[in-house]
Structure 1
Amino acid sequence: MAEALTIKDEIARLEASLVPVEETLLSLALAIPNDTHPSSPLGPESAAVQLSIHGPPPIPADPARDHVAIARQLGLIDMESGAIVTGSSWYYLTNEGALLEMALVNYALSVALRHGFTPVVTPDVVRSEVARGCGFQPRDTDADPPVSQAYHIADTNQDLVLYRPAAKVVGVGHAFRAEAGARGKDTHGLYRVHQFTKVELFAVTTQEQSEQMMEDMASIQTSILSGLGLPFRILDMPTEELGASAYRKYDMEAWMPGRGSWGEVSSLSNCTDFQSRRLHIRYRRNVAQPQNLSPTTLAHTLNGTAAAIPRLIIALLENGAIFDAEGKLTGIALPDVLRPFWLGSNDRGIIHWH
């Protein structure tokens, strides 16, 4: 009897010592990145390969087309109030600026719905274990909350993973970024802010279908940007830009003449089974067979930005600014595809549809 009690105590001691070992093992396993597609370029961001270019010829770079200056002159933005109320890199969209965000959201949604995506509205936070399962690792480890707490989502797709595997869904939500003020030129105006609205595409597929699904989703993104009349290009992103979860990633960059450079307005990632393995997303290959004869298989997941609203506003303002013969700003040319989604009037006469 005494020996049995000793063994019981020893088992309890060993089990207690196993807990931190298992936690360390899980943490290390979660940090292992996905494989990479054989066609993905090797190296840093500069190694990205341009796959295609679309839209009208880019107009020359021109500092007079800076989106902040344009938006302030036309009363479309209030950066100062955002800074006073919340802090730097926060902002108010006002007047036609607010209407432009709403129109862009509904335009992008309409395109996604036409392509068979199911709309969802999600919370803006997820439990930390779900975020980690998606490949999201907090950059500020000092602020890392306990595992039971929630994170603001950095991308809407991190919450859509919780939705039933309905093949294709599109969500509208807010994305949050802690490090908005850390990238020099990228911090100007709306380009890199702490909170912004996104329309996000998410798909769950069989393993055999994910590469074709990636091309289908890229076609939707191309359709959205082409409809806006923007010059843009599609890049195959190199290995150092894939993050932990992506097997392959495309970036869509629009020409922003006020910035004098291309700027990312959309991205698309095929995560294969990286997220589904961590979140237990599986499918049955033959649903007609009895369950014991048709084992489940890990699904593949993909996510892509249908519309990153502030970046699109930058591109539309900088490409669409209208100046008179003396160089005075008189208004903004906006594409007709947004007109059905425009909720206000044009009493001030600054919007010119084309």
Structure 2
Amino acid sequence: MHDIRWIRDNPEAFDRGMDARGQSVRAADLAAMHEARLAVQQELQTKQAERNSTAKLIGKAKGSGDEAEARRLMQATADLKADVQRLEDEDRDREAALNDALAGLPNIPMDDVPVGADEDANVLVRQNGTPPDFDFDAKEHFEIGEALGMMDFDAAAKMSGARFVVMRGQLARLERALANFFIDTQTEEFGYTEINPPFLVRDEAVFGTGQLPKFSEDLFHTDDGFWLIPTAEVPLTNLVREQIVEAADLPHRVTALTPCFRSEAGSAGRDTRGMIRQHQFTKVEMVCITTEDQSEAELERMTGCAEKLLQKLGLAYQVMLLSSGDMGAGARKTYDLEVWLPGQNRYREISSCSNCWDFQARRMNARYRPEGEKKTRFVHTLNGSGLAVGRALIAVLENYQRADGTVRVPDVLLPYMGGVEIIGAA
């Protein structure tokens, strides 16, 4: 959510930001809407003052015995009351129209974000690790899983349709091992506090993190008014909704292991085979609530936490700085971590870490009180995947596959696998 006063004070910066986002709205258009509302408010205040002063004269007229004047003043008061009601209604309508216009706009990219329409404008920041060099033709994850008899898309389709999977036996355990490894590392090594949040939330929660109103088609909605969370970012960020926290208590770093639900609207024909793009998947999410002066450092820290998980798994990856047209609407700056998948012979996204600045906080009215100051400020919010469990499973299967169709378990996961070192071994 944008601050209309900032827009009016910085029209050129706002217009540049919207241009970078591919948006045609201009600061002048929003300023005109705001100015029209201010005019209504000014007229409303004038009418309210006239109504109050006129009402006081009624008693004086009656006290002096001037009934005609009293009746005239009473009629004038009634007319002014009607004017006040009309102007209050108009003020509410103009406020709603302005807020709707602001709520539908994306965040303004930071100055170092590359300007571009899509992923083609993303910038490589760094690469880490060396992709494996197999002496056999690498298979994709679904080929490996189906050949092992542990990944069943047909059974899932019969009960749920496309973009679901049933996993069995050692493969199901391997996914659980990854999830537990991620959440344990986040809490024990990286200092995040584990949260077990609701998986169903109300309109206000998804509005607060920016999925509503523009991206409702990406979500699943229940008949009784709940939304299934697309990521734990939604409930974790809303933990500070309508609160004022002390600056000394920040940053708040929280994490959660949850199922995530996405409709994958607009992805028809993309990644139809396998587990890359599913309606239901498991993810460990990182969220940080912090102050303005800490938020840029927190983005680097959060991205580093996600990188360390890939390093511990021994997976090659690269870090991409997303362009203005490729990052999410609520972000000002986003790093994507892309892991090497030998079966596809390419890097694919496994984590996205974003700094939203005060964009979400304005929608949630989440503030902090700087030390020694009476006036509050909006918090800064950050979120990142640490990591997407299903995509990590894909990466492990493809990078640790062996010529005989089995899969070696990464060393860091062995404590979670109950003695299993090779998936599919006889």
Q: Displacement, 1:127?
A: 1.7
Q: Does structure 1 retain, via aligned residues, the 8 Å contact 2:125–2:319?
A: yes
TM-score w.r.t. the length of structure 2 is 0.74
Counterparts of 2:152 and 2:343, CA distance in 1: 19
Q: Displacement, 1:149?
A: 3.2
Match of 1:162 in 2: 238
Distance 1:143 1:37, change over 3 A: closer
Q: Which has the higher strand share?
A: 1
How do residues 166-315 of structure 1 correspond to structure 2 at under 5 angstroms?
Answer: 167-179=252-264, 182-286=267-371, 289=372, 293-315=373-395
Counterparts of 1:169 and 1:218, CA distance in 2: 15
Match of 1:27 in 2: 100
Match of 1:340 in 2: 415
- In the alignment, does 2:226 pair up with 1:150? yes
Match of 1:131 in 2: 206
Match of 1:86 in 2: 160
Q: Does structure 2 retain, via aligned residues, the 8 Å contact 1:111–1:220?
A: no
Counterparts of 1:144 and 1:171, CA distance in 2: 20
Q: Does structure 1 retain, via aligned residues, the 8 Å contact 2:218–2:264?
A: no
Match of 1:45 in 2: 119
Counterparts of 1:262 and 1:142, CA distance in 2: 24
Match of 1:5 in 2: 78
Q: In structure 1, give the amino acid aligned to 2:113.
A: S
Distance 1:306 1:348, change over 3 A: closer
Q: Displacement, 1:301?
A: 0.8
Q: In structure 2, give the amino acid aligned to 1:136.
A: Q
Counterparts of 1:123 and 1:179, CA distance in 2: 21
119-128 or 132-141, which deviates more: 132-141
Q: Quick check: which has more Rg, 1 or 2?
A: 2
Identity over aligned pairs, percent: 34
Deviations along 1:85-115, one digit per CA (max 9) or x if unpaired, are: 1111111121112111211111111221111
Q: Look up the SS of the partner of 2:115 in the other structure.
A: coil
Distance 1:76 1:264, change over 3 A: same
Q: Displacement, 1:64?
A: 4.8
Long gaps (5+) in structure 2: 1-73, 246-250
Q: Does structure 1 retain, via aligned residues, the 8 Å contact 2:171–2:423?
A: no
Q: Displacement, 1:54?
A: 1.1
Distance 1:183 1:62, change over 3 A: farther
Counterparts of 2:281 and 2:322, CA distance in 1: 23
Counterparts of 1:219 and 1:34, CA distance in 2: 24
The count of corresponding residues between Structure 1 and Structure 2 is 340
Q: Displacement, 1:74?
A: 1.1
Q: Does structure 1 retain, via aligned residues, the 8 Å contact 2:408–2:423?
A: no
Q: Identify which of structures 1 and 2 has the higher relative contact order when contacts are C-alpha pairs closer than 8 Å and 6+ apart.
A: 1
Q: Which has the higher helix share?
A: 2
Q: In structure 2, give the amino acid aligned to 1:311.
A: R
Q: Does structure 1 retain, via aligned residues, the 8 Å contact 2:409–2:421?
A: no
Distance 1:263 1:141, change over 3 A: closer
Q: Does structure 2 retain, via aligned residues, the 8 Å contact 1:206–1:299?
A: yes
Counterparts of 1:53 and 1:316, CA distance in 2: 18
Distance 1:297 1:351, change over 3 A: farther
Distance 1:144 1:228, change over 3 A: closer
Q: In structure 2, give the amino acid aligned to 1:320.
A: Y
Counterparts of 2:109 and 2:221, CA distance in 1: 31
Counterparts of 2:101 and 2:109, CA distance in 1: 19
Q: Displacement, 1:233?
A: 0.6
Distance 1:191 1:61, change over 3 A: farther
Q: In structure 2, give the amino acid aligned to 1:306.
A: G
Q: Displacement, 1:262?
A: 1.2
Counterparts of 1:303 and 1:347, CA distance in 2: 33
Q: Look up the SS of the partner of 1:262 in the other structure.
A: strand
Counterparts of 1:347 and 1:227, CA distance in 2: 17
Q: Displacement, 1:350?
A: 2.5
Long gaps (5+) in structure 1: none
